[in-house]
Amino acid sequence: MGNYKFIITGIIFALFIAIVSFETGYKKGSQEDLSYAAEKASSSVVNIFISNRGVNRTRNAVGSGVIFSKEGHIVTNTHILTNATSVFVEFNDGEIAEAILIGADNYSDIAVLKINGFEGLNPIESAESSNIRVGDEVLAIGNPFGVGKTVTSGIISATGRDYGNPYLELLQTDAAINPGNSGGALLNEEGNLIGINSSIYSKTGTYSGIGFAIPSEKVIQVASEIIKFGKVRNSWIGDFQVRQIRLNLNNNLISALSIIKIDATSGIGNPLELNGVSVGDIILKINDLPATWKNLTTALKLTLPGDEILFEIYDKDNNREVLVKTVASS
């Protein structure tokens, strides 16, 4: 009987050791994954400086950027380039190059720079930010306060955030983001770009646990448009006029837009009419947001040609949804 007790005790002890080893190994593996992710993306993230004109111009560290293409395109935030007369990019090895501005978009806060004459650039790899889940581990790489490239870690706290712009559907993270991180990379555990860090919520102007990043899909979409056309082309759904009204719907007063005129369009036809929208229709929602003039114009500004805008149209019998495909304005 004593031998059996010894054997059972030995088995339990062995199982305990196996469980502890497994958990320890898992945690260690996770840390190694994050270290690998940081190392993988580090050479694809740059520091950005701006300066004013003059012989004694000084370079001020203002933010970060990511290498977007082997041809030398750098993606960053528009807001960090305000009042810049010259822009400089600092690479991982400390080398500094002057960059030219290809184009900038105020609505998405995405700008594209370009450096010439550099070979062996390492463009950042991207992942689909739409696959990101709340709780996923992330890394932020940037140049906070100009101290140099810095890596911080955290999780995705929320997705689809409206922080000043409802159409960007920002990612929210608790990874430490401070002034200077703007334009830098938000990475998943594989070291792939899921967003461009753009802003923080803070009463002091420094890290308070709430940071926001522009999703990678929007970054790629806008940056590609700027590289190809030098700007983000305006989307167009036809010439029409609306009037802001208050509609009593189920004993609730809501904001709505009444379509009072749709102009005929030669050649391609009016996109609204082609999708069954007509004068007298009342728009209740635009991309699931209240139908206001501001939301309509913002949707057009942030929707690239070829994308679709979802309208919910009021009908006494049954409201209907209409997808209108945008085209480039002439």
| pLDDT grade for 151, boundaries at 50, 70 and 90 | very high
DSSP string of 132-166, one letter each residue = --TT-EEEEEE-GGGS--EEEEEEEEEEEE-SS-T
Burial of 109 (0-12, 13-18, 19+ CB in 10 A): buried
Residue 20, pLDDT score? 41
Rounded percentage of the chain residues whose pLDDT exceeds 70: 85
For residue 183, pLDDT over 50 is answered with yes
Single out the catalytic residue among 69, 79, 255, 258.
79
Rounded percentage of the chain residues whose pLDDT exceeds 90: 53
**Mean of all residue pLDDT scores within the chain:** 85
Name the residue among 323, 242, 324, 249 with its Cα closest to residue 281: 242
* CA–CA distance, 198 with 183 (Å, rounded to integer): 6
For residue 3, pLDDT over 70 is answered with no
73 classed as catalytic: no
182 classed as catalytic: yes
Residue 30, pLDDT score? 65
Name the residue among 305, 287, 299, 159 with its Cα closest to residue 225: 305
Least confident stretch, 81-85, 139-143, 261-265: 261-265
Least confident stretch, 53-57, 132-136, 222-226: 53-57
| pLDDT grade for 192, boundaries at 50, 70 and 90 | very high
Q: What is the DSSP letter of 316?
A: S
Residue 55's identity, in one-letter code, is: V
Residue 29, pLDDT score? 41
* CA–CA distance, 205 with 185 (Å, rounded to integer): 20
For residue 267, pLDDT over 60 is answered with no
* CA–CA distance, 278 with 261 (Å, rounded to integer): 8
| pLDDT grade for 243, boundaries at 50, 70 and 90 | very high
Single out the catalytic residue among 64, 105, 108, 109.
109
174 classed as catalytic: no
Strand partners, 153: 139
CA–CA distance from 28 to each of 23, 83, 136, 261 (Å)? 9, 46, 17, 64
Q: pLDDT tens digits for 36-85?
A: 999 999 999 999 999 865 444 566 878 999 999 999 999 999 999 988 88
Instruction: Delineate the domains of the chain, giving CATH numbers in brackets.
Output: 1-229 (2.40.10.120), 235-328 (2.30.42.10)
Q: Are 194 and 154 in contact (CB under 8 A)?
A: no
Single out the catalytic residue among 44, 182, 198, 199.
182
Cβ partners under 8 Å of residue 79, min gap 6: 109, 182, 198
For residue 15, pLDDT over 60 is answered with no
